[in-house]
Amino acid sequence: MHLSWPGGPLRGTAQLPASKSEANRALILQALAGGGTLGNLSDANDTQLMLRLLAAAPSTELSAEDAGTVMRFLTAYLAVTNWRGRLTGTARMQERPIKVLVDALRQAGASIHYLNNDGYPPLEIGGFTAAAETAEPTELSVRGDISSQYISALLMVGPHLPGGLRLTLTGHIGSRPYINMTVALMQRFGADYSADGDVLTVRPGAYRPTDYVIESDWSAASYWYAFVALAPAGSEITLAGLRRESLQGDQAIAEMMTQFGVETTFLAEAVHLRQVPLTPQTAIPVLDFTDCPDLAQTVAVVAAALTRPVDMTGLESLRIKETDRIAALQTELAKFGGDLRDLGAGRFRAESNGFAVDNQSVATYHDHRMAMAFAPLAMRGPIAIEAPTVVRKSYPQFWNELAKRGFSVSEAG
């Protein structure tokens, strides 16, 4: 996909997809509740895939494709609903670990076997053997620094376990906003939940059918923040469907982007972004992405392009996403004169020396966020994005929205 900006300020309103993080949790809860209506479900592949697989669950072979959330959530859902069959995914999905979740579900009574490599999909799920009816909850303990998707998957099926679930999180807890999102949605669907420090308790009982409208996606909004940051002076954009009181941890982008000259004003069910003059950088800020790892690529690209270095921590999970996102960022930023330098002790510095955009081609590594994080560089010069259809995973209308806002968008033959 060849992208360029004709010049002048960026203005208008951009449409965002609905949050797939909210949607996939709500779809599991709706299925467990046996009803309710969900509004504003997007056409993002991850959301549509979850819809299809939940409807196809009578089948004995399902594929989560490349969707980590779908794989983790479905593993728990299918296990406790006594499904029997094979759950698989793409080659990359079969390299992404799932052992922590499987071990916990086995302890709770699930029969799950690995078909290829121990600790990785594909899985053979052989039903669920519940313990005798008891008032005592199932006791599980998992590390808090693992993917929050494992923790969310266990919490959501908690009411369906005999006696409920008492889940103890040990050590440092990462991506806590995603756990908070899960719990908030569970409570909307009628779950009885409480927490005592890092001990999370879900009492047994049925969910109730609930109507819920999914918020627009703050992760998708992050790319528009990047466009405004890199655009000519006077640029502004309105993003519909976002809430000040959001369940999404990626709302952190609003505060982060003040470092790069983007001011956020909250409206009724929308936000307005406006470029403001950059203040001199007197020190290198440190931004922690532990709770919002999906924002890291966007921020790294903007920091390098603006030659405003930023130190980044909490990037550990980026190694096991759709690709090794740290390695991918380092390779692609180098094409423009940028770098994501490893400072050791879990800290990276996004920086550049002579950053320039001039028809470089960006590889996307089967990763939707690589495509969308680098697209805003079109504000600084023409670029090409390889394999542009990867955006279907979370923001299928991304390229169309750019064209509507005035970008030159042309797909190579």
> What positions carry a catalytic annotation?
294
Q: State whether residue 272 is helix, strand or coil.
A: strand
Cα angle value 219/221/225 (rounded, 5°): 120
Q: Which two tokens stand for residue 269?
A: 């069910």
Name the amino acid, one letter, at 343: L
b (16+ CB within 10 A) / e for 312-342: bbbbebbeebbbebbebbbebbeebbbbbee
Q: Which residues are annotated as a binding site for phosphoenolpyruvate?
A: 20, 68, 96, 149, 325, 369, 393
CA distance 317 to 58: 33
Residue 364 one-letter amino acid: T
Closest CA to 167 of 188, 178, 153, 181: 153
Task: Give the C-alpha separation, 225 to 234, whole Å.
Answer: 14
C-beta neighbour count of 30 within 10 angstroms: 20
Query: Cα separations (Å) of 107 from 89, 138, 306?
Result: 24, 9, 50
